[in-house]
C-alpha cells in the first residue's frame, strides 16, 4: 500500500479536489489517503477555540455558520445530483451542530482539540462522498480509532498498525482508504493533535505502521528547495535527500515538512516523495536511505528562537553542573536546539517559551541569567558537510553580520548559526551567494 498525503491547499477548492482525484487515479495499487482540512479552515477553528477560551461568545454562531456555508458551497461545486447533494449536506450539518455544541462547553485542552480537528473530519467526509459520486469506490476511516499516539516524539507505530488493521477489517474492502491527518489520541485516550502541520507526520507514522511501499506528500511546492524561495531568488528543488539530511532540514524550519515527519521511517527504508499537486509532472524531492552525493544540499531557517545565557564563575566547571541545568529543561519538557559552553558560561536556545518564566526562576539559582529573544537558527545541511572543504565559506558570513552562536561538529550533516531575526533574510541571501552561486560559478569556470 502507498500512503498519499494532501495538504490544505491541495484540497482547498473544488478544482483542487478534482485535481487530487486525477492524481490518485494515476497511482497504481492500494492507496491510503491522508487529508488535511481545507486551507484556512484550521486557522478559523483555532480562532473559535480562542474565543471560547476568552469567553468571547457573541461571534461564535456567525463564525460557525460561515464554516457551514464554506463546506456547503464546496459540495454544490462537486456534487450536482440534488438528492445526493442534500444527503451529504445533512452529514456535514450534523458535524457542524456537534461543533456548535462543543463551543458551548468550558474550554479545556480536549475541547480545543475537538474544535480544531473538525476541519479534517468535514473535508474527508466530503472527499469520500465526491469519489463515490464519481463511481470511485473508497473506504473512509476515522483516525481516532487507530492514531493512538502517547508519545509525540516516539510514536508506537506497532500499536497504530494493529489498530489500523482492525479498523480496516471492519470496513468495506476498497483499494482507496481515506483518513484524517493531524488527529491523535494521547496517553489518556483523549482527543489531541500532532500539532500544526501534523498531517505530514500522520502520513509517515501510518506509512511506518503499515509498512507502506512509499509515502507521497503532496503540497503546493515542487519539492524541498535548496533555500527559502520566499526570501532568496533562483532557488531550486533538491531532487534527492537522505533521511538524515531531510530530518535536519525539517527540524530547523523547512516549511514543506513538519519537524518530525521523517523520524518514523528512518531505518524502515520507506522512501518519501515530496510532490506538487498543481504540477504533478515535476520531479519533486525523493527522501530515502540513499545519499546521492556528499556535501552541501540545502539551507533552512527556524524562527522564534530564544537564547539563554547562564554565567557562573563559581559553578560552571563543577561536577554535575550541566546535568542540573539540563534537568531544569527536562522538568518543563522544553527541548534545547543549540548549546555552546565556555569556562564561565553556557549558552543554549529553545523554541518553546511556554514555561520560560518557570525555567528562568530555577536557573537563577545557578548564576547570572540573560535572555535574548527574536532570533533565528540558520541551518546548513548536507551529507558529510563538515568534511567538505567548501563548507569553510559558511564562516565568511561572520564578516557581514553578527552571529550569536555557532554549532559545528555535533552532526556531520549540519552546521547551524544563531542570528538576530532582523538579519535572517540577509544571512540566507549571502549564504546562498557564498555557497551555491560561488559553487556553480566554480563548476562553470
CA distance 148 to 258: 19
Do 309 and 206 lie in one domain? The reply is no
Confidence of residue 445 (pLDDT cuts 50, 70, 90): very low
Q: Which domain-ending residue is among 219, 235, 256?
A: 219
Do 202 and 97 lie in one domain? The reply is yes
Instruction: Read off the pLDDT of each residue in 261-268 and give the average, rounded to a whole number.
Output: 90
Name the residue with higher pLDDT: 206 or 198. Answer: 206
Q: Is the pLDDT of residue 263 over 50?
A: yes
Do 344 and 435 lie in one domain? The reply is yes
Q: Is the pLDDT of residue 193 over 50?
A: yes
Name the residue with higher pLDDT: 383 or 15. Answer: 15
Which pairing describes strands 2-6 and 214-219: parallel, antiparallel, or unpaired? parallel
Cβ neighbors of 34 (< 8 A, separation 6 or more) are: 3, 4, 5, 6, 179, 180, 181, 199, 202, 203, 206
Instruction: Read off the pLDDT of each residue in 142-166 and give the average, rounded to a whole number.
Output: 96
**3-class DSSP assignment, residue 28:** coil
Tell whether 260 is covered by a domain: no
Do 90 and 205 lie in one domain? The reply is yes
φ/ψ region of 235 (left if φ > 0, alpha if ψ in -120 to 50, else beta) reads beta
Tell whether 262 is covered by a domain: no
Name the residue with higher pLDDT: 30 or 294. Answer: 30
Do 307 and 200 lie in one domain? The reply is no
pLDDT at res. 331: 95
Confidence of residue 383 (pLDDT cuts 50, 70, 90): confident
Percent of the chain with pLDDT over 90: 74
Q: Which domain-ending residue is among 165, 194, 219?
A: 219
Do 174 and 33 lie in one domain? The reply is yes
Tell whether 27 is covered by a domain: yes
Confidence of residue 443 (pLDDT cuts 50, 70, 90): very low
pLDDT at res. 272: 96
Tell whether 249 is covered by a domain: no
Confidence of residue 437 (pLDDT cuts 50, 70, 90): confident
Cβ neighbors of 442 (< 8 A, separation 6 or more) are: none
**3-class DSSP assignment, residue 273:** strand
Confidence of residue 355 (pLDDT cuts 50, 70, 90): very high
Tell whether 125 is covered by a domain: yes
Task: Please state, rounded to an integer, the average pLDDT across all residues of the chain.
Answer: 91
Do 160 and 11 lie in one domain? The reply is yes
Name the residue with higher pLDDT: 330 or 413. Answer: 330
pLDDT at res. 25: 96
Q: Is the pLDDT of residue 435 over 90?
A: no
Domain count, the chain: 2
pTM: 0.88
Do 158 and 10 lie in one domain? The reply is yes
Do 349 and 208 lie in one domain? The reply is no
List the single range of 124-138, 250-264, 295-309 with lowest mean pLDDT: 250-264
pLDDT at res. 444: 45
List the single range of 70-74, 187-191, 291-295 with lowest mean pLDDT: 291-295
φ, ψ dihedrals at 90, nearest 5°: -65, -40
CA distances from 199 to 34, 138, 260, 371 (A): 7, 20, 11, 34
pLDDT at res. 314: 66
Confidence of residue 186 (pLDDT cuts 50, 70, 90): very high
Tell whether 182 is covered by a domain: yes
Tell whether 184 is covered by a domain: yes
Q: Which domain-ending residue is among 219, 248, 265?
A: 219
Q: Is the pLDDT of residue 386 over 80?
A: no
Do 7 and 120 lie in one domain? The reply is yes
pLDDT at res. 252: 82
pLDDT at res. 179: 98
Do 206 and 320 lie in one domain? The reply is no
Confidence of residue 306 (pLDDT cuts 50, 70, 90): very high
What is the CA angle 370-373-377, rounded to 5?
110
CATH number at residue 411: 3.30.2130.10
CATH number at residue 111: 3.40.1160.10
DSSP code for 317: T
Confidence of residue 439 (pLDDT cuts 50, 70, 90): low
Tell whether 97 is covered by a domain: yes
List the single range of 87-101, 324-338, 379-393 with lowest mean pLDDT: 379-393
CA distance 214 to 204: 9
Q: Where are the alpha helices (DSSP H) in 134-234?
A: 157-170, 199-209
pLDDT at res. 316: 56
Instruction: Read off the pLDDT of each residue in 67-79 and give the average, rounded to a whole number.
Output: 98
Do 214 and 107 lie in one domain? The reply is yes
Range of the domain at 42: 2-219
Q: Is the pLDDT of residue 441 over 70?
A: no
Q: Is the pLDDT of residue 373 over 70?
A: yes
Contact 113, 192 (CB under 8 A): yes
Amino acid at each position: 500500500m502507498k500512503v498519499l498525503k494532501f495538504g490544505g491547499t491541495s484540497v482547498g477548492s473544488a478544482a483542487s479536489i478534482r485535481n487530487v482525484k486525477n492524481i490518485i487515479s494515476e497511482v497504481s495499487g492500494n492507496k491510503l489517503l491522508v487529508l488535511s482540512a481545507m486551507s484556512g479552515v484550521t486557522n478559523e477553528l483555532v480562532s473559535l477555540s480562542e474565543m471560547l477560551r476568552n469567553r468571547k461568545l457573541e461571534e461564535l454562531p456567525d463564525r460557525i455558520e460561515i464554516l457551514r456555508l464554506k463546506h456547503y458551497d464546496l459540495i454544490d461545486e462537486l456534487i450536482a445530483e440534488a438528492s445526493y447533494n442534500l444527503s451529504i449536506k445533512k452529514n456535514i450539518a450534523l458535524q457542524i451542530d456537534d461543533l456548535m455544541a462543543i463551543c458551548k462547553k468550558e474550554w479545556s485542552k480536549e475541547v480545543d482539540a475537538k474544535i480544531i480537528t473538525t476541519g479534517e473530519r468535514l473535508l474527508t467526509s466530503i472527499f469520500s462522498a465526491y469519489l463515490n459520486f464519481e463511481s470511485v469506490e473508497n473506504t473512509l476511516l476515522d483516525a481516532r480509532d487507530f492514531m493512538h499516539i502517547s508519545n509525540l516524539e516516539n510514536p508506537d507505530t506497532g500499536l497504530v498498525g494493529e489498530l489500523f488493521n482492525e479498523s480496516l477489517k471492519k470496513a468495506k474492502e476498497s483499494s482507496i482508504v481515506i483518513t484524517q491527518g493531524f488527529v491523535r489520541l494521547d496517553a489518556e485516550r483523549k482527543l489531541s493533535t500532532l500539532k500544526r502541520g501534523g498531517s505530514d507526520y500522520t502520513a509517515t507514522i501510518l506509512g511506518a505502521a503499515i509498512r507502506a511501499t512509499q509515502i507521497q506528500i503532496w503540497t503546493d511546492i515542487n519539492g524541498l528547495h535548496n533555500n527559502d524561495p520566499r526570501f532568496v531568488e533562483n532557488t531550486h528543488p533538491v531532487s534527492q535527500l537522505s533521511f538524515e539530511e531531510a530530518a535536519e532540514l525539517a527540524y530547523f524550519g523547512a516549511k514543506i515538512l513538519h519537524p518530525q515527519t521523517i523520524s518514523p521511517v528512518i531505518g524502515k527504508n520507506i522512501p518519501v516523495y515530496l510532490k506538487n499537486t498543481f504540477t504533478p509532472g515535476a520531479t519533486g524531492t525523493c527522501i530515502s536511505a540513499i545519499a546521492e552525493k556528499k556535501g552541501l544540499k540545502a539551507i533552512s531557517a527556524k524562527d522564534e528562537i530564544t537564547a539563554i545565557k547562564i554565567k557562573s564563575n563559581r559553578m560552571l566547571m563543577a561536577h554535575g553542573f550541566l546535568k542540573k541545568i539540563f534537568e531544569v529543561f527536562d522538568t518543563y519538557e522544553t527541548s534545547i536546539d543549540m548549546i555552546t559552553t565556555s569556562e564561565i558560561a553556557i549558552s543554549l536556545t529553545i523554541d518553546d517559551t511556554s514555561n520560560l518564566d518557570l525555567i528562568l526562576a530555577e536557573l537563577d539559582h545557578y548564576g547570572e541569567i540573560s535572555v535574548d529573544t527574536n532570533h533565528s537558527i540558520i541551518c546548513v545541511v548536507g551529507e558529510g558537510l563538515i568534511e567538505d572543504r567548501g563548507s569553510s565559506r559558511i564562516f565568511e558570513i561572520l564578516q557581514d553580520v553578527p552571529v550569536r552562536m555557532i554549532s559545528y561538529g555535533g552532526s556531520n550533516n549540519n552546521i547551524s548559526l544563531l542570528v538576530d531575526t532582523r538579519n535572517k533574510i540577509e544571512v540566507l541571501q549571502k549564504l546562498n551567494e557564498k555557497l551555491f552561486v560561488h559553487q556553480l560559478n566554480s563548476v562553470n569556470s
